[in-house]
Chains A and B, each alone.
Chain A
Amino acid sequence: MALNSIHWFRKGLRLHDNPALREAVQGAATVRCVYFLDPWFAGSSNVGVNRWRFLLQCLEDLDASLRKLNSRLFVIRGQPANVFPRLFKEWKISRLTFEYDSEPFGKERDAAIKKLAMEAGVEVIVKISHTLYDLDKIIELNGGQPPLTYKRFQTLISRLDPPEMPVEMLTDTLMGRCVTPVSEDHGDKYGVPSLEELGFDTEGLPSAVWPGGETEALTRIERHLERKAWVANFERPRMNANSLLASPTGLSPYLRFGCLSCRLFYFKLTDLYRKVKKNSSPPLSLYGQLLWREFFYTAATNNPRFDKMEGNPICVRIPWDKNPEALAKWAEAKTGFPWIDAIMTQLRQEGWIHHLARHAVACFLTRGDLWISWEEGMKVFEELLLDADWSVNAGSWMWLSCSSFFQQFFHCYCPVGFGRRTDPNGDFIRRYLPVLRGFPAKFIYDPWNAPESVQAAAKCIIGVHYPKPMVHHAEASRLNIERMKQIYQQLSRYRGLGVFFSSKQEVLCDGITCSSLMSVTCSSSVQFYLYNSPLKLLYIQRFGDSGEEKPQSGKRVREGRLSERAVGLVEEDKGPRHEHNQRWCLSRV
């Protein structure tokens, strides 16, 4: 009997380095590449028009590339679980292939589809190609827990074999005798829909700054490498006014949708480094962007509550304020801080902002000024940011709001000074906030301080044509740093920055109550956190700095019983309080 395959595209929207797609054509008589879109869902989802456009462009590009191989993309309207059983029958399918999805909801969905396929007698082949490594291997190497510091993660990575080489691009030769049956009405039934069809109003929509698709991604990676080769400097580029703008060498949205294989990027970087630096082996920092992504995927893969504060074992519970008006001002670029508003405008218009710009707006929304939950900010990014991925988006927001992973909570980005240092002339502001164009550089970051005559000359009166600042930054940061301190003091006997300025005889209950078990990680230097929750346990965690398997000092007290991911380690240097806690810890186990 002839072998008929379906390759199911979700992420991984590419023909290069697509091992699951190769499996689909291997020895098959027919192959059909499908993508599921729910048009009912599209208009009502909280994904913005830029992201939809990027996705549709990716699909069109895929379809065009498949046509060159005498194949087509089948865009199926509906939900996979509803449609697959029919397709299996109709197309007499015996093999289903797709790329492994590491995210909890993806895993759940895929398990359901696998079950359906099994029931229909369809063989399922799944391949890892969205991440460099098999994330489960990283977790296994770390004793069953995802690493919670980036340093630790790097240590683990350096002990793994290098990632697998990318597989060959799908070509005519690889297709061999495998064909795609295409009907006359393919366009009507399975064509890539337009934005209008999905219910978006496209009138006046400016052209895409970031065009989607594999073809574009492959052009960009060449440019990216050329530039790196030309600079011949593999250190992190220093931030300047230009780095704030969308660059034709930027890759993050392409990695997000899988138009670009992370492994291809990895090996191209390695080759280039070896060529330029002659035989020296590349440092891990060369792959920074890829490894951060990998780090957050690893942290999230077994945590379905990764994007929530409540019930998320790695997230500190912080008493964020609920304030829909303030949130709306932030999201709609009406904070009255030109630096913040320009970034949010760029995000809305183009779908991408520089990572330091992300730090600035995230800090402003959460711990820096507005004290609004990171979950709200994450949702806005989810709508607008092309490269927002569930794991990476939530993980970065937790990081930037000091809800997890992070150690430097004493420092908040200033919504005036940070921008001024990056782009002293204010060209970035003028580009995205034309209303402020007339202000001189001296006042463009804090126009409310400009004398009336300057405002009049700029034809922009603050409070009339552009909003007044929505918060008093000095006051807000004073309050918020105090709040953060309360929280971390309660969480820890974290010496050092956490008790910077703490009172010696603090006898009042400070901070928040942690009513669910928490686990935040210790940082790179010898800091440790002591977590407590009234019910479950007091718990001290300490990792060796060099990131070896076992902590430098301390012994293992218990392994995840009360929480799924906690490994308790008790500090050797313990006072009477610690003794007490340790006993408690032990007695609870």
Chain B
Amino acid sequence: MKRMKGGEEGSDDSSCESPAEVCKKVRKQLSDDSEPEVAESLDCNWARLPQELLLHIFQYLPLLDRAYASQVCRGWNQAFHMPELWRCFEFELNQPASSYLKATHPDLIKQIIKRHSNHLQYVSFKVDSSTESAEAACDILSQLVNCSLKTLGLISTARPSFMEVPKSHFISALTVVFVNSKSLSSLKIDDTPVDDPSLKVLVANNSDTLKLLKMSSCPHVSPAGILCVADQCHGLRELALNYHLLSDELLLALSSEKHVHLEHLRIDVVSENPGQHFHTIKKSSWDAMMRHSPKFNLVMYFFLYEDEFGPFFNEEIPVTHLYFGRSVSKEVLGRVGLHCPRLVELVVCANGLRPLDEELIRIAKHCTQLSAIGLGECEVSCSAFVEFVKMCGRRLSQLSIMEEVLIPDHKYSLDEIHWEVSKHLGRVWFPDMMPTW
């Protein structure tokens, strides 16, 4: 993950020298200046601090401190407004009634829109659970008419409040960005009312540059809408969406010759009502994906009732990361062991009443890439657990299980299991503990 805050952006900016180099330069300038008072006058004349050094320092300061510093003198005030410091910005929109966190000051927002909107490139909005905040975010977006964004993230920090904003308001704000930003590369709009027509606008203006699109739980987008994106945006490398948008056509579009290799596909499988029916994806479509992008990550989050797993894991699927957020049956985990040869990471939050012993062994046997596993409320007998770890060995870089679900048996007690597992992992390992209180 590349962070967009403060100084770290500098690392990919070639004009930005390392602090050591800058210091050297400044020292050199100082020694060139042979007048003896120089050192002294520098001590008391901070205004003479070179802009590049100042910029470097400012990049480490949070906004508020930069704002205070900008009141010191004219030079620092100019430094405060340097475009480099305004490339990325995170708008925090919170209401006192719904959040404990502070919000970006409205005056600052006004100033950014007035003076710096053309500098903004990496923008995110963090919005609390109130509709006002989400609307405020839309208002700001609609005013960013002279900016050209590279990344935009709309992040609901508590509840999905963008869903509460009138759809037309949201769409018109978003299309302002799409139309004006001709080189948008990353877009994160999970849990928003984005729809097919607005995606068309996105495609029309940014099809050459779009690399990342995250739109989990966007109910107004249809399979045809996302297909249009996949057809046109050949540079798309990362995509996140819900299962109902996933289709054979989409996978084929993503594996067309014109398309770059996909790196990351995240699918959320969420059930609205118990007993919901889910469509299946053909093995041939996954095969096409694999041929085109042999290294891609397929990340799947399941939030289903136990009896809804019917359509899943009956055939081989190239899934690499699996998360089961609700209880999942032994049978389904057995199928996972058979049909997920690329599995790298697995989280099972809960399963039924019987221990997961054989299923884990099968997963260890067939999923030869598995390197991380997390088990929540899943009972496992100690000896099966040790066997599992032994089979996986040191490739298990992450192993997390709660102590209370490990069932001691004739072979191992709870105290022994820590030694036994540590031995096979080649490092010290303990089960997770919860406070007894």
Q: Which residues of A contact B (CB under 8 A)?
A: 150-151, 235-236, 239, 252, 283, 285, 288-289, 292-293, 295-296, 309-310, 317, 319-323, 355-356, 358-359, 371, 373, 387, 392, 395-396, 399-400, 407-408, 410-414, 417-418, 421, 424, 449, 472-475, 477-479, 481-483, 486, 489-490, 493, 495-497, 500-510, 512-513, 515, 523-527, 534-535, 544-546, 576-577, 580, 583-584, 587
Quick one: which of B6, B126, B434, B436 contacts A319, CB cutoff 8 A?
B126
With known contacts A309-B100, A501-B323, A545-B430, A534–B5 Cβ distance under 8 A = yes
Q: Are B427 and A418 in contact (CB under 8 A)?
A: no
Whole-angstrom distance between the Cβ of B295 and the nearest chain A Cβ: 10
Whole-angstrom distance between the Cβ of B165 and the nearest chain A Cβ: 17
Please, how many angstroms separate the alpha-carbon atoms of A507 and B217 in the complex?
A: 20
Tell me if B399 counts as interface (CB < 8 A to partner A): yes
Tell me if B129 counts as interface (CB < 8 A to partner A): yes
Q: Are B374 and A319 in contact (CB under 8 A)?
A: no
* A477: B residues at CB distance < 8 A: 303, 325-326
Q: Mark B388-426, 1 if CB is under 8 A from A, else 0.
A: 000000000111101010001000011100000000000
* A544: B residues at CB distance < 8 A: 428
- A–B Cβ pairs within 8 angstroms, 30 of them: A151-B433, A289-B437, A292-B435, A309-B100, A321-B99, A322-B129, A323-B98, A323-B129, A355-B435, A355-B437, A371-B129, A387-B437, A411-B402, A412-B349, A414-B349, A417-B350, A418-B377, A421-B350, A477-B303, A481-B323, A493-B1, A500-B398, A501-B323, A505-B2, A507-B2, A507-B212, A508-B152, A509-B153, A510-B1, A525-B428
Please, how many angstroms separate the alpha-carbon atoms of A256 and B338 in the complex?
A: 51
Q: Are B100 and A525 in contact (CB under 8 A)?
A: no
Q: Are A373 and B100 in contact (CB under 8 A)?
A: yes
Whole-angstrom distance between the Cβ of A493 and the nearest chain B Cβ: 8
Given contacts A478-B301, A509-B122, 5 further A-B contacts (CB under 8 A): A320-B99, A320-B158, A410-B376, A507-B212, A515-B62
Quick one: which of A418, A507, A510, A545 contacts B350, CB cutoff 8 A?
A418
* B437: A residues at CB distance < 8 A: 252, 289, 292-293, 296, 355, 358, 387, 392, 396
Please, how many angstroms separate the alpha-carbon atoms of A395 and B437 in the complex?
A: 10
Whole-angstrom distance between the Cβ of A76 and the nearest chain B Cβ: 32
Please, how many angstroms separate the alpha-carbon atoms of A500 and B397 in the complex?
A: 12
Q: Mark B158-186, 1 if CB is under 8 A from A, else 0.
A: 11100000000000000000000000011
With known contacts A408-B374, A524-B430, A235–B408 Cβ distance under 8 A = yes
Closest B residue, CB atoms, query A405: B435
Tell me if B101 counts as interface (CB < 8 A to partner A): yes
Closest B residue, CB atoms, query A412: B349
Please, how many angstroms separate the alpha-carbon atoms of A439 and B139 in the complex?
A: 50
With known contacts A285-B414, A358-B437, A392-B437, A545–B427 Cβ distance under 8 A = yes
Tell me if B353 counts as interface (CB < 8 A to partner A): yes
Tell me if B54 counts as interface (CB < 8 A to partner A): no
Q: Which are the 5 A-B pairs with shortest beta-carbon distances?
A: A411-B376, A496-B398, A545-B428, A319-B157, A321-B158
* A584: B residues at CB distance < 8 A: 7, 60
Please, how many angstroms separate the alpha-carbon atoms of A283 and B217 in the complex?
A: 49
Secondary structure dominating the interface of B: mixed
With known contacts A496-B397, A500-B374, A396–B435 Cβ distance under 8 A = yes
* A583: B residues at CB distance < 8 A: 19
Q: Which residues of B contact A (CB under 8 A)?
A: 1-8, 11, 19, 60-63, 65, 88, 90, 92, 94, 97-102, 122, 124, 126, 128-129, 151-153, 155-160, 185-186, 188, 190-191, 211-212, 214, 216-217, 237-238, 240, 263-264, 266, 268, 270-272, 274, 297, 299, 301, 303-304, 321, 323, 325-327, 345, 347, 349-350, 352-353, 372, 374, 376-377, 397-400, 402, 404, 408, 413-415, 427-437
Q: Are B128 and A505 in contact (CB under 8 A)?
A: no
* A479: B residues at CB distance < 8 A: 156, 159-160, 191
Closest A residue, CB atoms, query B431: A524
Whole-angstrom distance between the Cβ of B343 and the nearest chain A Cβ: 12
Closest A residue, CB atoms, query B305: A474
* B8: A residues at CB distance < 8 A: 577, 580
Q: Are A535 and B374 in contact (CB under 8 A)?
A: no
* B188: A residues at CB distance < 8 A: 508
Q: Are A504 and B263 in contact (CB under 8 A)?
A: yes
* A496: B residues at CB distance < 8 A: 372, 397-398, 400
With known contacts A477-B303, A508-B188, A497–B400 Cβ distance under 8 A = yes
* B216: A residues at CB distance < 8 A: 482
Q: Are A483 and B157 in contact (CB under 8 A)?
A: yes
* B301: A residues at CB distance < 8 A: 478, 481, 501
* B304: A residues at CB distance < 8 A: 474
Closest B residue, CB atoms, query A587: B19
* B436: A residues at CB distance < 8 A: 236, 288-289, 292, 355
Q: Are A236 and B297 in contact (CB under 8 A)?
A: no
With known contacts A371-B159, A421-B377, A508-B151, A408–B432 Cβ distance under 8 A = yes
Q: Are A508 and B427 in contact (CB under 8 A)?
A: no
Please, how many angstroms separate the alpha-carbon atoms of A292 and B190 in the complex?
A: 40
Q: Are A505 and B212 in contact (CB under 8 A)?
A: yes
Quick one: which of A236, A319, A392 contacts B128, CB cutoff 8 A?
A319
Quick one: which of B2, B65, B374 contacts A497, CB cutoff 8 A?
B374
Q: Are B128 and A509 in contact (CB under 8 A)?
A: no
Scoring A408, A486, A490 by chain B CB atoms within 10 A of each residue's CB, the highest score goes to: A408
Q: Are A506 and B374 in contact (CB under 8 A)?
A: no
* A489: B residues at CB distance < 8 A: 1
Whole-angstrom distance between the Cβ of B54 and the nearest chain A Cβ: 15
With known contacts A319-B158, A371-B158, A505–B398 Cβ distance under 8 A = no
Quick one: which of A396, A410, A413, A527 contacts B347, CB cutoff 8 A?
A410
* A373: B residues at CB distance < 8 A: 100
Please, how many angstroms separate the alpha-carbon atoms of A534 and B126 in the complex?
A: 16
Closest A residue, CB atoms, query B323: A501
Please, how many angstroms separate the alpha-carbon atoms of A538 and B207 in the complex?
A: 37
Q: Are B430 and A478 in contact (CB under 8 A)?
A: no
* B402: A residues at CB distance < 8 A: 408, 411
Q: Are B325 and A478 in contact (CB under 8 A)?
A: yes
Please, how many angstroms separate the alpha-carbon atoms of A542 and B263 in the complex?
A: 31
